[in-house]
Amino acid sequence: MTNIKSSLCEAFCGALEVNKVPAGYAVSTGQIGPDGDPIGFYVVGPNDEGKYRIQDDGLYMCAIESAGGDLQNKTRLATFTSLCDEYGVHREEDTGELVTAAVGSEAIGASALRFLSFLIRIQDLVWMSTERAVSTFRDDATKMLKDLIGDKARIVSDYVVSPGLQEVPADLGIIADGRPPVALFFGLSDARLMEALLLQAWAQQRREECAVIALLETEGAASTKMRQRANNHLTAVPNFRGEERAACARIAREALGFDPTLQ
Amino acid sequence: MRVKAVIAAEKQIVDAGAWKDGKMPNVAFPLSKSTLNVNANYRWRCIHFTAAGGSYRLLVFYRLDLHKCNMYLGRHDGKIMTVIARFEWHGTHEGWHFHVPKDCDDTGLVAGRTGGCEKRLPQCFEHHRKSSFGVTSDESAYMLALNTFRLAKPSKQFDLVMQ
């Protein structure tokens, strides 16, 4: 029992480092953050009432956002807000610093543990950007397409190419004047890619002019066989994650006839 | 181009910038995909230089109350800026260290973001050759930036951490 306890103590506290800084104390933990550094925080104080608050340096959220967990996305923003409420943390509007309420010295330990849990949990915002969370992927891709295309074309959801093809609506339609419409499918599974192939085949059969594109979130979003079929038959099958802008530019180019990123 | 090659290359300072207070405007270090929130608690300065046919900005920002100093090396890729290396000190875990792309080239970099520099030199919990903060003023932060990124002839006092 004693060995287990010391082993756990070593694991939890062995890497703990506390340094005195002018504002208070700088604390480093054994947990690694999104940018490869140990997660750390500051115990700032005492204030006039002899209390301390726990905070970051104002850059932790920048690291999260830079790793792909930006809060422009509604799903991520809602998650972030909910975690802030749960852990009693708020983000200072002017500095971007994540801070807790001020507590007495006897409560610093508990407050610091809660703050550390919060920092670890908000790393999930990055995970949400790479995990196959349907709404996050759709939100990110749709927002980027709208940013790229602006008012040069109309972007509609659940797009039906023509009345005869209403059985297979695309996730998005991009319609520019004088150009064939683009029917965009978010390729989240083999089944979705199959629907894209079906629309392509039916449109060809009915001589409906349109471009059918499947946007994959990652290379592994569909089976190799299905990706091969999609690559061979669809207009384009770009990969989103890691090359978000380039993937959306490929779609925009098909819709507009030119690359809006070069304008 | 490898980060080391940029640091080693002969450079021409286009604009040495000046130390400023207050929240850094995005235009000072324009990132298209994320906002670098250098808040009003930091002193910051942006040095614009050219090297090996490329155009770069070195953003230096620090705050003494938390013993924190960051230097971000950004490359202009057309209108987009890409952060290719970061040199940092955190009061929470002492030791100057670099963050560079995994293969020290463009692998993993994302234009418009500060992320993508996944390799930490030296690694966490390993020995750091430069283990004292050393930043006490605008002057010392500037000198450290010049010497680390070889914008001036290196002095013994601020030797490079990364070999």
Q: Hey, are the CB atoms on B93 and A38 less than 8 Å from each other?
A: yes
Q: Residue A240, SS3?
A: coil
pLDDT above 90 for A236? yes
Of all residues in chain A, the one with the smallest CA distance to B36 is A62
Please give the average per-residue pLDDT across A33-40, as a whole number: 83
pLDDT > 50? residue A48: yes
Which residues does chain A have within 8 Å of residue B43's beta carbon, measured at their own beta carbons?
none
Partner residue opposite B93 with nearest CB, options A17, A59, A245: A17
Contact B5, B52 (CB under 8 A): yes
Contact status, residue A137 vs residue A216, Cβ threshold 8 Å: no
> CB B34 to CB A66 under 8 A?
yes
Residue A15 host element (H or E): none
- Measured CA to CA, the distance from residue A53 to residue B100 in angstroms comes to 33
Bridge-partner residues for A212, per DSSP? A183
Angle at B91 between CA B125 and CA A117, to 5 degrees: 75
Q: Cα–Cα–Cα angle for A76, A79, A85, nearest 5°?
A: 140
Closest approach of B134 to chain A, Cα-based (Å) = 13
Spatial CB neighbours of B104, under 8 Å, sequence gap ≥ 6: B2, B3, B4, B119
* Closest in B66, B93, B112 to A42, CB measured: B66
Beta carbons within 8 Å of A148's beta carbon, 6+ residues apart: A245, A248, A249, A252, A260, A261
pLDDT in tens, A119-148: 988 988 876 654 445 567 888 899 899 999
Pick the range with the lowest mean pLDDT from A57-66, A240-249, B8-17, B88-97: A57-66
Q: In chain B, which residues have their Cβ closer than 8 Å to the Cβ of A22? A: 64-67
* A186 within 8 A of A192, measured Cβ to Cβ: yes
A contacts of B110 (beta carbons < 8 Å) = 66, 242
Structural contact between residues B39 and A64, judged by C-beta atoms closer than 8 angstroms: no
- Residues paired with residue A157 on neighbouring β-strands, in sequence order: A172
Class of domain A133-262: alpha beta
Residue A5: which pLDDT band, with cuts at 50, 70 and 90?
confident
Instruction: Please name the residue that has the structure tokens 């998005």.
Output: A172
Which residues in chain B come in under a pLDDT of 70?
1, 32-35, 79, 103-113, 153-163
pLDDT of residue B104: 65
pTM (2 d.p.):
0.68
Query: Which of A18, A65, A144 should be substituted to probe chain B, the one whose Cβ sees the most B Cβ atoms within 10 Å?
Result: A65
Looking at the complex, report in whole angstroms how far the Cα of residue A28 sits from the nearest Cα belonging to chain B: 5
In this predicted structure, what is the pLDDT of residue B163? 32
B132: its two tokens: 């004292």
Break chain A into its structural domains and give their ranges: 2-122, 133-262
ipTM of the complex: 0.87
Asked whether the predicted pLDDT for residue A51 surpasses 90, the reply is yes
Strand partners, B70: B61, B88
Q: Please say if the pLDDT value at position A221 is more than 90.
A: no
Tell whether A223 is within 8 A of chain B (Cβ): no
